[in-house]
Amino acid sequence: MQLEPASEKAPLFLFNPSPNLRTIKRLRLRFLIALVFSVFGATTQCLADVEHDFQIWTPITLDFPINRKLRGYFEVGPRIGDGASRINQLLVRPGLEYRFTDHASLFTGYLWQSTYQYNPSKVLHEHRIWQQLLFEKDIKRLQLINRTRLEQRCFEDLAGTGNRLRHLVKGNLKLSKLFYLTTSNELFLNLNSVNDGPQRGVDQNRFFSGIGFKFGKNDRIEFGYQHQYVNRSDEFDDQANHALIFQTYFGLLD
């Protein structure tokens, strides 16, 4: 009696698993593609009522020694908005840094911020007292930065003080002695509500990605793109700012 080849009678996967593995991989790929488009579609729908603006931010930071553990901190940050056509905000932020170790610091300081409105023509002023904890850790070529900042915000035209918590996580990946990749995300949370002002809850989120260039031992420039999503609690739409960032740091040696 002549037997028929087993491969013609038995299930295919017992003798040739490759087609089934390819089928599974194709199904997984299709599922992932469908998932990506579903998330993209949902996100697009959620962001339908968002006002967009292109901006340019050029903060400059100076860090200088006072004694062995105490350092001075000074930052000025012009922000150009409305399609990068005119100045939108100006921030001046002095402070003091106390270094527990080479990798942990405590900051405190003051901030003055002016926001320019052109229709109607008006300048809004804000004053802040701020405190922050900063931790840094190096893992081979990767530098990790964790920053937690607390702000007490006073608005000249509003009664009451707004308390806001900010948490930033940042990573710098060394490419060479001069260049590194950098990315960060910072979440802002209002801890209380102010009448006709900030409301309790998520205030905004900033995501930044770019490249850094070191031109001195403690001096560097970072250039990249920042997506800032502002959660408005008033009758206006939320705002998404797309900003080109030019950050310059000068660190004077002890």
CATH number for the domain harbouring residue 222: 2.40.160.40
Q: Do 12 and 79 have their domain in common?
A: no
Q: Do 109 and 212 have their domain in common?
A: yes
For the entire predicted model, the pTM comes to 0.79
Number of domains into which the chain is organized? 2
- Please provide residue 43's backbone torsions phi and psi, each rounded to the nearest 5 degrees: -65, -45
Domain of 168, in residue numbers: 54-251
Q: What is the distance between the alpha carbons of residues 172 and 100, in angstroms, rounded to a whole number?
A: 22
Q: Do 181 and 60 have their domain in common?
A: yes
Q: Is residue 178 part of a domain?
A: yes
Q: Is residue 1 part of a domain?
A: no
Q: Do 178 and 106 have their domain in common?
A: yes
**Beta carbons within 8 Å of 165's beta carbon, 6+ residues apart:** 148, 149, 150, 151, 188, 189, 191
DSSP letter string over 39-59?
HHHHHHHHTTTEEEEEEEE--
Q: Do 34 and 92 have their domain in common?
A: no
Q: What is the distance between the alpha carbons of residues 61 and 27, in angstroms, rounded to a whole number?
A: 51
Can you say whether the dihedral through the CA atoms of 220, 241, 76, 70 is positive or negative?
Answer: negative
Q: What is the distance between the alpha carbons of residues 247 and 169, in angstroms, rounded to a whole number?
A: 17
Q: Each residue's pLDDT tens digit in the chain (254 positions)?
A: 444 444 444 443 333 444 456 665 565 556 555 554 444 444 444 455 889 999 999 999 999 999 989 999 999 999 999 999 999 999 999 999 999 998 999 999 999 999 998 888 889 999 999 999 999 999 999 999 999 999 999 998 888 999 999 999 999 999 999 999 999 999 999 999 999 889 999 999 999 999 999 999 899 999 999 999 999 876 667 999 999 999 999 999 87
Q: Closest by alpha carbon to 61, among 102, 116, 107, 100? A: 107
The answer to whether the CB of 165 falls within 8 A of the CB of 149 is: yes
Q: What is the distance between the alpha carbons of residues 179 and 33, in angstroms, rounded to a whole number?
A: 35
Q: Is residue 93 part of a domain?
A: yes
Q: Do 21 and 123 have their domain in common?
A: no
Could you report how far apart the first and last alpha carbons of the chain are, in Å? 95
Q: Do 69 and 158 have their domain in common?
A: yes
